[in-house]
């Protein structure tokens, strides 16, 4: 693999691949680095039903495969490598990967985020089998069924309201005795007859063999345990952005997300961001694709100024 590039993209999910396509079309020498699977977390989902332009459901892995081929068509080099170091040396970005260094005039950082999990019994085993991390993606599968949302922030209440359009009953399980979400969301939840709330409770385990059948709860105040039957459980306890490598270069909010403007540029010259590392991202493929395009266009403007 060559060591000098115009652009290096870190992260091979929808944002990174979209950025790669646009950088390649601009005839920039582009390297994309992805430590796991090209396509990102979305390839683990069964189908996507809300991606614009597709009247029928599509398989996420198939969509991402087409994006990979499209990037390669424009000359982008895709490598499975984990980035372990990032530094700026004069006008160059130095990136450390396994046993070597690569350099670029510009970097687009699209390393995404990871879901927070509870770490209790049955959680990972039943993921995709009734346990979900995306109500927007999976709500239609639970038409007229009973589901739970685990969490008490903006995301949890928003997902509960969305699920209430489909499910017969939505139970919000929150470990405290009050929500931390915006008041307008709380008002909507309290007024929705389909939504019930279980306060002061933690999930001890997820029950079920091949699919979810219920969750075991413990009341933090009384110590009592109970199991409630469910068809679905949606984790809404936040995400963790993969921004550890950026902390010395850009502004991060209290949760580690990058603070930027619509250009998706940063305080560091030649460093751009896209996708789920950005504060306020809604974790939708279409949004990440658009961010990747925006970051690539801003990056091209920067590179053009160097020519």
Q: Are 12 and 32 in contact (CB under 8 A)?
A: yes
Active-site residue, from 6, 81, 138, 231: 138
Q: Does the active-site annotation cover 138?
A: yes
- List Cβ neighbours of 62 (8 Å cut-off, separation of 6 or more): none
Sign of the alpha-carbon dihedral angle for 189, 191, 195, 201: positive
The Cα–Cα gap between 278 and 252 comes to 9
23 catalytic residue (yes or no): no
Element (H or E) spanning 206, and its range? strand 201-208
State the catalytic residue, choosing from 23, 81, 137, 231: 137
Catalytic status, residue 134: yes
* Residue 132, C-beta contacts closer than 8 angstroms, at least 6 positions apart: 138, 232, 233, 234, 235
Tokens representing residue 121 in the block: 């019994």
| Pairing of the two strands 100-109 and 92-97 | antiparallel
Catalytic residue among 134, 154, 200, 261: 134
Tokens 């950026």: give the residue. 246
Catalytic residues: 134, 137-138
């Amino acid at each position: 693999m060559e060591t000098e590039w115009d652009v290096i993209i870190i992260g091979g999910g929808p944002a990174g691949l979209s950025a790669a396509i646009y950088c390649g079309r601009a005839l920039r020498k582009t390297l994309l680095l992805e430590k796991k699977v090209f396509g990102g977390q979305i390839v683990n989902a069964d189908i996507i039903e809300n991606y614009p332009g597709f009247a029928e459901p599509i398989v996420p892995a198939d969509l991402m495969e087409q994006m990979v081929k499209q990037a390669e068509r424009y000359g982008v080099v895709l490598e499975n490598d984990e980035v372990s170091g990032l530094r700026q040396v004069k006008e160059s970005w130095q990136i450390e990967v396994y046993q070597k260094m690569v350099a670029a005039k510009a970097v687009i950082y699209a390393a995404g985020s990871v879901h927070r999990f509870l770490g209790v019994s049955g959680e990972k085993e039943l993921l995709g089998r009734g346990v979900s991390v995306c109500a927007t993606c999976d709500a239609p599968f639970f038409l007229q069924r009973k589901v739970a949302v685990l969490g008490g922030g903006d995301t949890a209440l928003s997902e509960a309201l969305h699920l209430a359009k489909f499910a017969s009953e939505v139970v919000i399980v929150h470990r405290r005795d009050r929500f931390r979400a915006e008041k307008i969301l709380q008002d909507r939840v309290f007024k929705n007859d389909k939504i019930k709330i279980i306060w002061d409770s933690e999930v001890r385990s997820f029950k079920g063999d091949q699919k979810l059948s219920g969750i075991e709860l413990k009341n933090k105040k009384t110590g009592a345990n109970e199991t409630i039957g469910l068809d679905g459980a949606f984790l809404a306890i936040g995400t963790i952005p993969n921004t550890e490598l950026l902390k010395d270069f850009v502004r991060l909010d209290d949760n580690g997300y990058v603070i930027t403007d619509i250009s998706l540029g940063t305080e560091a010259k030649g460093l751009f961001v896209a996708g789920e590392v950005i504060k306020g991202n809604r974790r939708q493929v279409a949004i990440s694709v658009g961010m990747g395009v925006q970051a690539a266009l801003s990056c091209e403007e920067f590179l053009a100024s160097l020519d």
